[in-house]
A and B are shown apart, each in its own frame.
Chain A
């Protein structure tokens, strides 16, 4: 089976520092890949390069057989490459349902040229309500559907972030630290949701996560980054035993079994 996403020799520097240096990896259809590494390893930069938020200095990203255009995250999202963010993200003071409605309709509106092809957009609009309702139930947000997203507990806001990505109808979801800042119970809910996304919808996942036990449980395959390069790759058990991975992690942060990484703590503070 050919890979859904393949990343070749991707590089990007900021002011002389190589944040991502020649990274290559691939994700198959319906696969869950965990992306781990100490802070500053280049994980979020890699996500931004894949989605097109950042332009790479070198290298390319192929998704679903198409070469993605750097610098156009909107176009790439419309191809089915969705992402959720490290921080909980909301669009202003709107209800949960309104957020999901936007997520369901926006991909059809992408560029101003939609003003010229109304019939196609009408079809999406008609389907949107049903899509939103289905996602609300799927993500367990149906009971808070009419509440303001800004007023939700942090854990539900992060669930909403994943649900919005889901509402765009993606083939693949890049989740940036979905469990960061969540308590134990919330983390379990998030884990179950991510697993169901793959199991019932066949959507491939790439997950950045500092909660190593979580990512090891969840992933089919682990890619470990340090200093912008891939230092280990393989099944969770293999990577866990890998010397380079242990050294990078112990060198980067002492407590690699902790429930949440430093970013999570900073957020809780």
Chain B
């Protein structure tokens, strides 16, 4: 019953921009979708007990790949989008083989440095990444000759991508594979002794998280039309982390809840842009101290209480 209600509420919320048909509402909704994708990718790394601070860098890889392939190599958008998903996923899979053996604090440090290094690479190699100025005049999204530049169309695209990403992630963290991941998180030595290859599963999850972040990057690049390195730095990853904590780290819907709550605020109050960081920081601090399971945790707690 509760799930039906939540599902209906989510559907209503997703349909809201179409009903209101307001340009600004579309804009905010698209940004929520993109941020929710990044937060979802971070959620995946948290599910394998690893705090990856390189997720925005994977988003950057997707953004640059998609932008360069469409703008400079004239690839159609769907092909570029696919590449923007697969390239970060492949890089995450290869990196994961090595870095996922590093655990706990050291993994967070490692991915922090890795993320910064990726941003520096975008800055340093002016060809092809455009240096500090980034890339301009990125072509708009277009599928089979159908342009998706208009806000309603791009919002529909964002919804489709977000829905697909949630379906893939849900498939991964629930059911049989979910049991494996939960087992690894709860008791790795025991789960391995039952025949599970811990590294192979973690690598799969990490690769998917890279791909989801890459999808966010591609949408971001084609929506705004320009990208620059600083958008993919540690701040973006921390914002995604805040969304997870606000929405509830243990919940699949946590990243989405967090994005819906946090993304509109600075957009609604333009003057509040100055206060955005303080607001984000203090809300994360307050949640960590007083409500560590996040706002979504309230729903879960009530469900358990019944």
Is B192 part of the binding interface, using a Cβ–Cβ cutoff of 8 Å?
A: yes
Judge whether B197 and A74 touch: CB under 8 Å: yes
A-B contact pairs, 28 of them (CB 8 A): A53-B189, A73-B192, A73-B193, A74-B192, A74-B195, A74-B196, A74-B197, A75-B197, A77-B192, A85-B190, A90-B190, A91-B182, A91-B190, A91-B191, A92-B186, A92-B187, A102-B179, A106-B195, A106-B196, A107-B195, A109-B176, A109-B195, A109-B196, A110-B197, A111-B197, A112-B200, A115-B177, A164-B194
Interface centre among B193, B197, B200 (most CB of A within 10 A): B193
| Interfacial residues, chain A to chain B (CB-CB below 8 A) | 51, 53, 72-75, 77-78, 82-83, 85, 89-92, 102-103, 105-112, 115, 164-165, 168
Interface centre among A77, A112, A164 (most CB of B within 10 A): A112
Q: A92-B182, A92-B186, A112-B204 are in contact. Are A106 and B191 (CB under 8 A)?
A: yes
Alpha-carbon separation in the docked complex, A89 to B187 (Å): 8
Judge whether B196 and A110 touch: CB under 8 Å: yes
Alpha-carbon separation in the docked complex, A75 to B195 (Å): 6
Alpha-carbon separation in the docked complex, A228 to B60 (Å): 51
Closest 9 CB pairs between A and B? Answer: A107-B195, A74-B197, A77-B195, A106-B194, A92-B186, A112-B204, A78-B195, A73-B192, A89-B190
Alpha-carbon separation in the docked complex, A102 to B184 (Å): 12
Alpha-carbon separation in the docked complex, A111 to B196 (Å): 7
Judge whether A165 and B193 touch: CB under 8 Å: yes
Contacts of B192 in A (CB 8 A): 53, 73-74, 77
Judge whether B191 and A110 touch: CB under 8 Å: no
Judge whether B193 and A111 touch: CB under 8 Å: no
Query: Interface on chain A toward B: helix, strand, loop, or mixed SS?
Result: helix
Interface centre among B183, B191, B194 (most CB of A within 10 A): B194
Alpha-carbon separation in the docked complex, A105 to B176 (Å): 9
Q: Count residues on chain B whose CB falls below 8 Å from chain A CBs.
A: 21
Is B279 part of the binding interface, using a Cβ–Cβ cutoff of 8 Å?
A: no
Judge whether B189 and A85 touch: CB under 8 Å: yes
Contacts of B138 in A (CB 8 A): none
- Chain B nearest CB from A40 CB (Å) reads 20
Is B245 part of the binding interface, using a Cβ–Cβ cutoff of 8 Å?
A: no
- Chain A nearest CB from B184 CB (Å) reads 9
Q: Mark B115-157, 1 if CB is under 8 A from A, else 0.
A: 0000000000000000000000000000000000000000000
| Interfacial residues, chain B to chain A (CB-CB below 8 A) | 176-177, 179-180, 182-183, 186-187, 189-198, 200-201, 204
Alpha-carbon separation in the docked complex, A107 to B196 (Å): 7
Alpha-carbon separation in the docked complex, A102 to B192 (Å): 12
Judge whether A102 and B197 touch: CB under 8 Å: no
Alpha-carbon separation in the docked complex, A77 to B191 (Å): 10
Contacts of B180 in A (CB 8 A): 106, 109
Contacts of A75 in B (CB 8 A): 195, 197
Contacts of A107 in B (CB 8 A): 194-195
Alpha-carbon separation in the docked complex, A105 to B183 (Å): 13
Judge whether B187 and A90 touch: CB under 8 Å: yes
Judge whether A83 and B193 touch: CB under 8 Å: yes
Contacts of A78 in B (CB 8 A): 195
Q: Which of B182, B186, B187, B195 contacts A110 (CB 8 A)?
A: B195
Contacts of B194 in A (CB 8 A): 77, 102-103, 106-107, 164, 168
Alpha-carbon separation in the docked complex, A53 to B189 (Å): 8
Alpha-carbon separation in the docked complex, A77 to B190 (Å): 11
Interface centre among B182, B191, B196, B198 (most CB of A within 10 A): B196
Q: A106-B180, A109-B176, A112-B204 are in contact. Are A77 and B193 (CB under 8 A)?
A: yes
Name the residue on A nearest B183 (C-beta).
Answer: A91
- Chain A nearest CB from B263 CB (Å) reads 33
Alpha-carbon separation in the docked complex, A89 to B186 (Å): 10
Q: A106-B191, A112-B204 are in contact. Are A74 and B198 (CB under 8 A)?
A: yes
- Chain A nearest CB from B94 CB (Å) reads 15
Alpha-carbon separation in the docked complex, A33 to B286 (Å): 57
Name the residue on A nearest B171 (C-beta).
Answer: A115
Q: Which of A77, A102, A110 contacts B183 (CB 8 A)?
A: A102
A91-B183, A102-B179, A102-B183 are known contacts; what are 8 more A-B pairs with Cβ within 8 Å?
Answer: A53-B189, A74-B197, A77-B195, A78-B195, A89-B187, A91-B182, A91-B190, A107-B195
- Chain A nearest CB from B188 CB (Å) reads 10
Alpha-carbon separation in the docked complex, A109 to B180 (Å): 9
Name the residue on B nearest A84 (C-beta).
Answer: B193
- Chain A nearest CB from B99 CB (Å) reads 16
Alpha-carbon separation in the docked complex, A103 to B183 (Å): 11
